[in-house]
Chain A
Amino acid sequence: MTTLLAANQLTRTFTMPAGPVHALRNVSLEIAPADYLAIRGPSGCGKSTLLHLLGCVDTPTSGELSFEGRAVEALPDAERSEIRLRRIGFVFQRFFLLPMLTARENIEVPLAEAGATRAERRTRTSELLDYVGLSHRADHRPSQLSGGEAQRVAVARALANRPRLLLADEPTGELDRATGEQIAALLDRVHADGTAVVVVTHDPEIGGRAARTLMMRDGRIEDGRA
């Protein structure tokens, strides 16, 4: 199996006034290009911390992380940002769509940042809106969208630059069950179309759709099964 992302003995310790908090302890894992991984566990077990390290938005206290064979933990901000922009997509629990932009414009943000031309942006945005079933809502602002629609726009935005890895942090956390099912189905489809997906979730049903699930407790991987 070719490795897309490899974490070796990742540790993340936060310095707090009351003393150090060990959020992650010696976690190692590998993610293949077509992987579909769910990370589950109780609140505060280190799921999101692990996701942030995998997504290059945080730096491990110790350990190594490589993305497409390249060590990333010590890269400067500009290069890590470039990897996040072009190779990794992020979906957040609270969507974080920009309220002053329409759905189409929100999807265009990472495209524009990556230097896509106006025509390229238009084409790709239309494709993605169609992909998430929101072509008819293209010119609506986030405040005019339902939670499920906003999250679908967020997924489309995450896919804008054709990332190799999609990271989703509790993507159904703010949604009702039926809407959450739609998002889970969308993630399934993203995976089926060739993008590796890592999803952090409390929801066993969402977790059950992944090919692999990692159970975490107290900053450690408790159980990993294919």
Chain B
Amino acid sequence: MSRLTRSFGFAARSLRRQPARASVGILGIAAVGALLLDMLLLSRGLVVSFHDLLDSIGFDVRVVAGDLGPIGGPRLADASGIARELAALPEIAEAVPIRMAEGETPAPGGVGFSLMGIDVQARRPWTLVSGSDRLESPGRSVAPGGSAAVPSVLVNRRLATALRVSPGDQIRVRATCSAEQSAMPPVPFLVAGVADFPFDTESQLSAVALRAAVRSACGTGTDDTADMVLIASREGFGADSAVSAIRRRRPDLHPATNDEIVARMQQQGFSYFRQISTVLSTITMLFGFMLIAVLLTVSVNQRLAEIAALRALGFSQARIALDILSQSALLVGAGGILALPLGVALSVWLDAILKKMPGIPMTLHFFVFEPRALVWHAGLLAVTASLAAAYPMWLVTRLSIASTLRNEVVS
């Protein structure tokens, strides 16, 4: 039997001897460990989730006209030409311009929604729920039962519910492509299908049509602008090669890979979560440290005579110190294991609360489980256990056997 095994066996018996104290320690560490796990999940959760979200739509590069990004920045002029030029590059499989607009059904009871125009090709940045996602422009054939002159539109579930429409129904939409533009009369759209759009927030109403259809509805038929061109790199090349190719071909454009976009977000808005997570992790570890340090110190002080006797029987300083460390490891280990389900349950609850913030896409999560979080969790708890055991270990190693035995008899 190894010294370590003996130490753990001894420590386990010592802890069982004081079940109330051991329970307090384990439950305390479970609570602290749950918070620590959540902070670890939070520290990278948004980044991981945002990256997953960007990747989920099947495009790994985004091209915009300026540094500000697609929202609020300048638009890409001659978007169709740009898309053709970029799609011709060997590194690029697909280039899809998109144009953001606003839509509204006519009063009374008008419903406003986000309307996205897209030059859809093979990849569909949405998940079809019902109907068809074959989008048609004005004047072409549409889904069965539709009119050839009516462009088709995909609506999200909330918009379908709000408008009480299903695939095959027709809606009238008043579209606005810019704030300066005067209101246009509503035009008919055929609801081709219902889909989930990954960037939708919980309350968002949204629809997608072909960019030409949106442009036509806005009354800007010759305006070939786009807010962004989504790029799918060709297999075997990758996003970085695609970006390099775009920069060589069109230095006036601003391409960015999903990684770069996430890194930019990480430096800006997401860094707050990391900072909060770091501060709260440190505080929770401090609480865990104090809890275990106090419990072990009290326990050691109560057992000084017993420890002195063990030393007299031949237990070395190192062996006694190992016992204390083992006790700390058992308390923190048991608490840490309990912390996992507790932390996961807590993260689900906290995630649901945070996701109620306005403007958060439904598919985005603040707390995302990663195996590395488990490794960090175990590592940080191990550090806590070691630090918490340091003082009581120091106490027992400097214990004078003779004085302690003498004091015990005198007392």
Contacts and interface: CB of A to CB of B under 8 A. Distances in A.
B309 A92 contact: yes
Interface in B300-320: 305-306, 309-319
B17 interface: yes
B312 A110 contact: no
B405 to A, nearest CB: 7
Interface in A54-112: 55, 57-58, 77-78, 81-86, 88, 90, 92-94, 96, 98-101, 109-110, 112
Interface string B307-340: 0011111111111000000000000000000000
B84 interface: no
A98 B11 CA distance: 12
Interface string A37-66: 000000000001100100101100000000
A83 B305 CA distance: 20
B401 interface: yes
Interface residues of B, number: 26
A199 B187 CA distance: 109
A86 B313 CA distance: 9
B310 to A, nearest CB: 8
B173 to A, nearest CB: 77
Q: Which of B17, B306, B310, B314 has the most chain A CB atoms inside 10 A of its CB?
A: B314
Contacts of B13: 98, 100-101
Contact of B405 (A52, A100, A161): A52
B314 A81 contact: yes
A96 B305 contact: yes
A140 B17 CA distance: 15
Contact size range, A: 35 or more
B172 interface: no
Contacts of A101: 13
Contacts of B405: 48, 52, 57, 92, 169
B409 A118 contact: no
B6 interface: yes
A90 B312 contact: yes
Given A48-B409, A85-B314, A110-B314, A96 B402 contact: no
The 8 closest A-B pairs by CB, nearest first: A85-B314, A96-B309, A58-B402, A81-B316, A52-B402, A100-B17, A57-B401, A84-B314
